[in-house]
Structure 1
Amino acid sequence: MTTKRDYYEILGVDRNASAEEIKKAYRKLAVQYHPDKNPDNKEAEAKFKEIAEAYAVLSDPQKRQQYDRFGHQGPGAQGFSGFDFGGFDISDALRQFMEQDFGFGDIFGTRSSSRRRSRRSGRRGSDIQIRLKISLEEIATGVKKKIKIKKMVPCPECNGTGSAKYSRTVSCPVCHGSGEIRQVSQSLFGQLVNVITCQRCQGEGQIIENPCHSCHGEGRIKGTKTIEVNIPAGVSTGNYIPLEGEGNAGLRGGPAGNLIITIEELKHDIFERRGDDVIMVLPLSFP
């Protein structure tokens, strides 16, 4: 049976690499081995698929946490984390590449794109990452913690829509509803067409005729929320607890991001933890 390569090794990043570092590494390799840049090259296609599979795991905080703990085998008999990549084919890899806002300009170096940005009524909110300090006693038994976080919350004035009462959305007057602006320039190689996202409507193709005065059309405002978190027994420093939908509210009714809680174990005055063992160092004197 063929042994699968380590995902961090595939992307060429350290195991402690940040999400941004992982994304940059994926982008560089994906562009290098993209099928459009390597036509009829099966080896490059296999490499592109391998890179995409690695990024699909390491770019997801929950999947990355499970991979760090269990590797490819996973905690159960059904393989890594219950996620089956046996059906992860080249079409999945290509779709993932396009979802990262990379276009043909990234592949061929022209920065132009033949892909139109999908128009949506709202956008997903960003994730929030916090560190939670807990004691050794709490780790031993498990604990419920109430935490108060500052976050973007849906605007109560417009219910998250971003629109004033009786307002409506209209076609963007700058891009005329396409969500894109085409810039034509001349080079030594001929005419180049660079397609960029319309800044007036942020690529949505539509704008709000009368924005909400409270949130200025964003559909969200700054706020706070108290959340109860269940910390299971046995966690250790560096473990992640993801809470879906508890991150920042989305723009204009878009889905909320996630809250990612990183555990930090407090130092105990008497005991020292070594894996699942608790050690007490007792000095002894001899007569």
Structure 2
Amino acid sequence: MSTKDYLEKDYYAVLGVPKSATAAEIKTAYRKLARQYHPDANKGNTETEEKFKEVSEAYDVLSDVKRRKEYDEARTLFGSGLGGYAGTGAQRGGGGFNFDFGDLFSGTGQSSSAGDRIGDLFGGLFNRGGRSTATGATRPRRGQDIESEVTMSFGEAVEGTTVSLRLTSSSACGACSGTGAKAGTTPRVCPTCEGTGAASRNLGNFAFSEPCRDCRGRGLLVDDPCPVCEGSGRGKSTRTIQARIPAGVADGQRIRLKAKGAPGENGGPSGDLYVQVHVKPHPVFGRTGENLTVTVPVTFPEAALGAEIKVPTLKGMPVTLRIPEGTPNGRTFRVRGRGAPRKDGTKGDLLVTVQVTVPPHLDDKARAALEEFRDATEGIDLREELIKQARSE
């Protein structure tokens, strides 16, 4: 399908919706028409099969926010079809159109930004990677993103830490300084694209610019390649950086460190570094979001009569927690401000769960006291209500 055919198709009319239709309305219209014209429901009917393809094509464009915007802008720029540019450099011949969008505004007195706008627009519509200009070969390019991993202790993850990371990434070859040519030689200008890095490709009624196949968009050819990078101009570099891992990071979290990735080309910005964090478990503490958790053993008398107990914290300084009289096993108490840091600078809480623990050994005095307690509470049956509920079901 040519560009002219693409722009002259009214996808809104195909789906039977207005240009102002919402995404939900477009989806509903498509589903209705897809069921109507689906090949399985119209076996052997080539007419409905073509209609189904047309409906699917319209939905592919209008259901994508970016492509729909580009399609609308293109039709607005060219009016009804492409005839709207007949007076600005487009030449008619045999009923067709033959011009290069990259050169549409050259020599017409119009601003270069208008030409850039058209190039960007059609690059997005036809997935050709945008415009390619004479400066494309030397245009700054952003460096690649790099991924790394780090393993840290539970305390480091909660409090934050600085780690050393050894990174390997692509960079300009040190032997040829990124030229790709052997030392003592220089690349020559590509005769095919004359150093622009772009070549014009004829697609019937239109000509599009694309990266030159001979120099692969570099604009330069290397006759005697660098033996280190084999003429690519790129090599591997290893470096060690100090990366700050923020406080409160969780196990499995992916941290983005801006501009810590591979260096850019031709003055372009560096890529980003993504660090996958692995946190070692703690023998005492656990974590639930911004709260730390800990289970503390208590004796039966402490739970029954109430007590003040010492509770450990992550920094090692214990805090005093008041256990009220009659505390059941498994009850959780909250100690404010002793958890993991939040983004706003405050801290979460420490959740303390008490666990009534039976002593493994008793001396005679303790045994006698417990036997006396047993005799004193002999008339209390804690399971009586439970048994009644079980029988009532």
TM-score, normalised via structure 1 length: 0.55
Equivalence for 1:75? none
1:200 is aligned, of 206, 214, 229, to 214
For 1:173 and 1:256, locate their aligned partners in 2 and report how far apart those are by CA, in whole Å.
32
Aligned to 1:142: 160
Question: Contact between 1:160 and 1:253, CA under 8 Å: does it hold in 2?
Answer: no
Deviation of the 1:136 alpha carbon: 1.5
Residue 148 of structure 2 aligns with which residue?
130
Within the alignment, does 1:284 sit opposite 2:299 as a pair? no
Assess, with a 3 A threshold, how the Cα gap between structure 1 residues 257 and 200 changes in structure 2: closer, same or farther.
Answer: farther
| 2:243 matches 1:229 | yes
> Compared with structure 1, are the counterparts of its residues 33 and 243 closer, same or farther at alpha carbon in structure 2 (3 Å cutoff)?
closer
1:218 matched to which residue of 2? 232
Alignment of 1:81-160 (within 5 A): 104=122, 106-107=124-125, 109=126, 115-116=132-133, 118-120=136-138, 123-160=141-178
Deviation of the 1:127 alpha carbon: 0.9
Q: How much does 1:280 deviate?
A: 0.9
Look at both structures and tell me which one has the larger radius of gyration over its CA atoms: 2
> C-alpha distance in 2, partners of 1:208/1:121?
19
1:241–1:224: structure 2 CA closer, same or farther, 3 Å change rule? same
Alignment RMSD (CA, Å): 3.9
> 2:201 maps to which residue?
183
Q: How many aligned positions are there?
A: 201
2:69 paired with 1:33: yes
Aligned 8 A contact 2:161 2:244 in 1: yes
CA deviation string 1:180-238 (max 9, x = no partner): 2222244xxxx232432113323232334543221123333234322222223223342
Is contact 1:142–1:234 with CA below 8 Å preserved after alignment?
Answer: yes
3-state secondary structure, aligned to 2:73: coil
Instruction: Summarize the Cα distance change of 1:131–1:278 in structure 2 as closer, same or farther, 3 Å threshold.
Output: same
- Corresponding residue SS for 2:275: strand
TM-score (norm 2): 0.42
Residue 242 of structure 1 is matched in structure 2 by 257
Q: Give me the whole-angstrom Cα distance separating, in 2, the residues matched to 1:105 and 1:223.
A: 34
Residues 161 and 253 in structure 1, CA contact (< 8 A), matched pair in contact too = no
Aligned residues of 1:177 and 1:205 also touching (Cα < 8 A)? yes
Task: Return the match for 2:287 from 254, 273, 277.
Answer: 273
Query: Offset at 1:36?
Result: 2.4
Which runs of no fewer than 5 residues in structure 1 stay unpaired? 1-24, 41-94
CA apart distance, 1:138 = 0.6
Q: C-alpha displacement at 1:145, in angstroms?
A: 1.4
Q: Displacement of 1:268 after TM fit?
A: 2.9
CA positional deviation for 1:126: 1.0
* Alignment check: 8 A CA contact 1:113 1:195 kept: no
Could you say which residue in structure 1 is the equivalent of 2:388?
none
Structure 1 position 102, deviation (Å): 5.7
Residues 227 and 172 of structure 1, relative CA distance in 2, 3 Å threshold:
same
**Does the Cα contact within 8 Å between 1:177 and 1:206 map onto a contact in 2?**
yes
Q: Judging changes above 3 Å, is the alpha-carbon distance between structure 1 residues 114 and 220 closer, same or farther for their aligned structure 2 residues?
A: closer
Q: Which amino acid aligns with 1:285?
A: T
Q: Counterpart of 1:119 in 2: which secondary structure? A: helix
Question: Is the CA contact (8 Å cut-off) linking 1:113 and 1:194 kept in structure 2?
Answer: no
Q: As a proportion of its length, which structure holds more helix?
A: 2
Unaligned runs of at least 5 residues, structure 2: 1-60, 78-115, 297-354, 360-393
Contact 2:151/2:277, CA 8 A, preserved across alignment: yes
Q: Tell me if structure 1 keeps the 8 A contact 2:258–2:271.
A: no
Which consecutive segments of 4 or more residues in structure 1 shift more than 6 A?
none
Q: CA deviation at 1:251?
A: 5.3
Distance across 2 between alignment mates of 1:150 and 1:198: 30
Per the alignment, in what secondary structure is the counterpart of residue 280 of structure 1? strand
Whether contact under 8 Å (1:123, 1:253) holds in the other structure is yes
Is contact 1:121-1:204 (8 Å) kept?
A: no
Cα drift, residue 104 of structure 1: 0.8
Percent identity among equivalent residues? 26
Aligned residue type for 1:184: N
SS at match of 1:159: coil
For 1:32 and 1:111, locate their aligned partners in 2 and report how far apart those are by CA, in whole Å.
Answer: 17
Higher relative contact order (CA closer than 8 Å, sequence separation 6+): 1
